[in-house]
Chains A and B, each alone.
Chain A
Amino acid sequence: MIESQRHSYHLVDPSPWPISGSLGALATTVGGVMYMHSFQGGATLLSLGLIFILYTMFVWWRDVLRESTFEGHHTKVVQLGPRYGFILFIVSEVMFFFALFRASSHSSLAPTVEIGGIWPPKGIAVLDPWEIPFLNTLIPLSSGAAVTWAHHAILAGKEKRAVYALVATVSLALVFTGFQGMEYYQAPFTISDSIYGSTFFLATGFHGFHVIIGTIFSIICGIRQYLGHLTKEHHVGFEAAAWYWHFVDVVRLFLFVSIYWWGGI
């Protein structure tokens, strides 16, 4: 029991963010459908919904940060909740990406007559996996090493060095995104060029989106490290960012091996 209360749990205060996030999600889905069917005002509703969701994310996480770092509600028992929650979230992400990989392998393992009975489909010029794609596999791996460096720095109490390590992590992530953008720009096929283009851009696009999320997560960790929020004993937010970053890394390895390399020969 904690002396000033009866237990070591965190009973949260009432918050408007669950309902505001829900309304944002409703506006986003309805607006999204309206936009895709060329309804008047669809784009406006979609944009409003997305802004609402982004705003909710910002203020909700701001509140969590205030409750944990500035009010001290995250005791050891409370810290277990976000840990297990984040692990389950990553497990669900693994399942999501499994579906994307399966979409690709379903079409490539038994190519139909419509695409010439071969993979890559007839007429599709693919990217050489040993040029930018290979480099862009090594870059996130190095970024993963840098985030481990940051973790060791935090555990050793070297606050400044942890910031440097996170700057390295984020820099490599930005280089990756830059190369990926270049690759998309120069690709000889588009998302509408056969099932190859569809599965390629769906899988690599969602991976790129996750890289951007992980980059923002790492930037937030870097800022919090700079401000002194993350300590040797308590840095759950950083741990979640590191787990997420390693997950994104592993997805890239599978993308390279199965879609760029195996799928490109």
Chain B
Amino acid sequence: MRRRVVSSQQLQYVQRLHKWGAAFRSLNSSPSPSTTPSFQQTTTLFSHSEFLSKNKRVEDLMPIATGHEREELEAELQGRDILEMDYPVGPFGTKEAPAVVKSVYDKRIVGCPGAEGEDEHDVVWFWLEKGKPHECPVCSQYFKLDVVGLGGPPDGHGDDH
């Protein structure tokens, strides 16, 4: 890999980083108006909160980001939560208004914990399939699958159907 040449674009990038840095620190109730922080923690496990500003592209933030790292950063900049469908939650599903569970494939394992409080029950696991709504045998909660991804069998072998 060749050495990257410092361009005016990069200079702007560095200046922008500075601006955000200052904004982030002031949000964190830092009373000092000075531009340089007295101390920055070295072990920042999650240092991404400061770039949640609007209209920024991955190129501005981390030009070399690629693959899944880039998708993750992009979604964060756009304010989307790409992990949201991992933890389906919502009001108790009925026949009229089923609990919708998103899925990349045509079926997904779902667990029903019952309703809240007194009506809670041990989690009952089941396969929720596309076009086949499921009614929980314990609390009769109603589930429906919403395929948002590629569809097809989830095991990747194609011998399921």
Show the binding face of A for B, using Cβ within 8 Å: 1-8, 10, 69-76, 80, 83, 148, 151-152, 155-158, 160, 226-229, 231-234, 239, 242
Contacts and interface: CB of A to CB of B under 8 A. Distances in A.
Contact of A76 (B18, B42, B43, B48): B48
A80 B44 CA distance: 11
Given A157-B14, A157-B17, A233 B47 contact: yes
Contacts of B70: 72
Interface string B49-64: 0010000000001101
Nearest to B46: A76
Given A72-B68, A80-B45, A239-B42, A226 B18 contact: no
Nearest to A87: B43
Contacts of B65: 72, 231, 234
Interface stretch (B82-90, B111-119, B122-130, B135-143): B82-90
A1 B53 CA distance: 22
Contacts of A8: 68, 72, 82-83
A1 B18 contact: no
Nearest to B81: A1
Contact of A233 (B14, B18, B42, B48): B48
Contacts, number: 85
Interface of B: 1, 3-4, 6, 13-14, 17-18, 21, 40, 42-43, 45-48, 51, 61-62, 64-73, 75, 82-83, 85-86, 104, 149
Main secondary structure of the interface of A (DSSP, over half): loop
Nearest to B40: A155
B42 A2 contact: no
A37 B64 CA distance: 53
Contacts of A3: 71, 75, 82
A152 B18 CA distance: 13
Nearest to B48: A233
B34 to A, nearest CB: 14
Contacts of B86: 1, 7
Contacts of A234: 62, 65, 69
A151 B43 CA distance: 10
B68 A73 contact: yes
26 contacts: A1-B82, A1-B83, A1-B85, A1-B86, A2-B72, A5-B68, A6-B149, A71-B66, A71-B67, A72-B65, A72-B68, A73-B67, A76-B46, A83-B45, A151-B42, A157-B13, A157-B14, A160-B6, A227-B1, A227-B4, A232-B17, A233-B48, A233-B51, A233-B62, A234-B65, A234-B69
For the complex of A and B, 5 pairs with smallest distance between CB atoms? A72-B67, A72-B66, A72-B69, A157-B17, A2-B68
B85 A74 contact: no
B136 to A, nearest CB: 25
A148 B14 contact: no
Contact of A75 (B17, B40, B62, B69): B69
Contacts of B85: 1
Contacts of A226: 3
